[in-house]
Amino acid sequence: MTTFTGTGVLLRFSLRRDRVMIPVWVAVNTLMVLSIPNTLKSTYGTEAERTDLVHQVATNSSFRALIGPVFDDSLGALTAWRVGVYAGALGAVTALLVVVRHTRDEEESGRQELIASGAVGRRASLTAALLAAAVASAVLGLLVAAGLAGQGATGAVAFGLGLAAVGMLFATMAAIVAQLTESARLTRGLTAGVLGGAFVLRAAGDAASTDGSSVLTWLSPLGWLENLRPFAAERWWVLGLFATAVALQGTVAYVLAGRRDVGMSFLPTRPGPPTGSLGTAAALAWRLQRGSVLGWSIGFFLAGVIYGGLTDGAADLVGDNKQAREIFERMGGQSGITDAFLASMTGMLGLVAALYVVASVLRLHGEETSGRAEPLLANAVGRVRWASGHLTVAFAGSVLIMLLAGLGFAAGYGKEVGPILGACVVQVAGVWVIGGLTVLLYGLTPRLAPAAWGVAGAVLLIGWVGPALDIPQAVLDVSPFGHLPKLPGGEMEWGPVLVLLGVAVVLVGGGLAGLRRRDMTT
């Protein structure tokens, strides 16, 4: 067993490095799951309302595609239905990030060489990475099972085990992909792509059948999770399916890892051109960010198509329930249920676009801390010009992805093309304020720049949870998105939009002024 020597030490080391990341992901996921029963209780309080909901889901294929089929009208079963696919996907993302972080990331950076030169077995690193993912998945499963025990212990255990199993399935999947490519970023992207594919297969299968029995659903691990049927006559044998798949994928990963050299991969990197055409800092910024802009563009367009396609069905479903209707109307800020749904969905995408703008602006921070900015700025490139390249991608890119989301909505819904496009573009004002705040943080206090993620997360939380929880207006007003006109359907108000744009301009200006004055860090 010397091939596993050092696994324990490496596992402790990995968990120490992840002591913030894993708890945050797991806590967010757990809170999301455990908040559902209360929300459901307030919206579908009576037996009759729940029976009605089950009936609606059975007859509404677009809602099944979005969330999945429902198997029972108990609060537990409805919770597993409402949140299962999403909690599973989030748990899968956590697990795959942990595995890539401790495998391909380490090899790419060269740190793995130093580790492997110690008294460390050939399989220790991969094992430690999988165990770290197992710890994250197990803790998530335990917390969810404990938190939902009040809805029925058996169902809670099944649901917790199911979530942990999905995590491990994608952990071992990431372990395989990590053997194939040399780039950690590509490994994350490909594994996340498989996860996205699993979601689409399940959505297609569930749209086609009312009880998750479609072949397409069974092709998707997220479909297995719903077919475990927690709180609704659990099918325990589905866990065996997970166990087999995890064992199989794990074996493949170990066999592949055993057949390659450290730092190498089965898909070699292609050589690049011997001469280059990049000639400006702006061209470099676009080259570095174009891949992620493309990814976000595709994602936003598809999200628009899907939500657009769901609009009519969703309006029917929600329209029958008074409380759900009220939540959407609060989010959408108006009374027409179709417009309210469209407005809340465009608002949702605006909030997600804030994540894009933060990631894109923080590329500056990454370039600076990695030491790549220093030799670049030793050329005849001013700091502001260097920053402008990345900021153009960040700010123009957020307009682009919102426009594409609007086109997607138009394609999926087929009506109100102009108003929907307008509603999407208006969101940009809120996105830009978050982007401006990121620039300000980066320009004045580069050490605190990553706090922009916290700002975006808080705004996201206020926007998502705020309307459902009916929290005070003062809190909602903190978010720039709270001041945007509710479109489509509402009145276009130029005042707040222009004020927000002004705020964004001031923030960016302040950040750039700070960047000009401060020392560059390395």
Position 356, amino acid:
Y
Among 279, 474, 491, 494, binds other proteins (CB under 8 A): 279
DSSP 103: T
Q: Indicate the burial class of 297 (C-beta count within 10 angstroms; 0-12, 13-18, 19 or more).
A: middle
Coil vs helix vs strand at 320 = coil
Tokens, residue 131: 């165990």
Residue 290 CB, shortest distance to other proteins, in Å, is 11
**What is the per-residue binding string for other proteins in 152-191, x denoting contact by CB under 8 A?**
------------------------------xx--------
Instruction: Name the residue nearer to other proteins (CB basis): 382 or 418.
Output: 382
Among 288, 355, 465, 469, binds other proteins (CB under 8 A): 288
Helices (H), ranges, 210-236: 215-218, 221-227
Of 169, 255, 254, nearest in space to 220 by CA:
169
Site for other proteins contains 472 (CB under 8 A): no
Q: Are 321 and 43 in contact (CB under 8 A)?
A: yes
Whole-number Cα distances in Å, 12 to 16, 164, 325? 6, 20, 48
Q: For residue 85, how many other CB atoms are within 10 A of its CB?
A: 24
Site for other proteins contains 448 (CB under 8 A): no
Among 21, 58, 208, 377, binds other proteins (CB under 8 A): 377
Instruction: Name the residue nearer to other proteins (CB basis): 116 or 239.
Output: 116
Conformation bin of residue 152: beta by default, left when phi > 0, alpha when psi is -120 to 50: left
Site for other proteins contains 381 (CB under 8 A): yes
Whole-number Cα distances in Å, 128 to 12, 124, 177, 372? 8, 6, 17, 31
Q: Are 428 and 356 in contact (CB under 8 A)?
A: no
**What is the per-residue binding string for other proteins in 336-375, x denoting contact by CB under 8 A?**
----------------------------------xxx-xx
CA–CA distance, 320 with 470 (Å, rounded to integer): 20
Which listed range, 41-49, 152-160, 269-277, 334-342, lies at the site for other proteins (CB under 8 A)?
269-277
Site for other proteins contains 277 (CB under 8 A): yes
Residue 173 CB, shortest distance to other proteins, in Å, is 23
Number of residues that bind other proteins (CB under 8 A): 35
Site for other proteins contains 519 (CB under 8 A): yes
Among 237, 259, 272, 494, binds other proteins (CB under 8 A): 272
**What is the per-residue binding string for other proteins in 219-258, x denoting contact by CB under 8 A?**
----------------------------------------
| Binding stretches for other proteins (CB under 8 A) | 108, 182-183, 269, 271-281, 284, 287-288, 370-372, 374-382, 517-520, 522
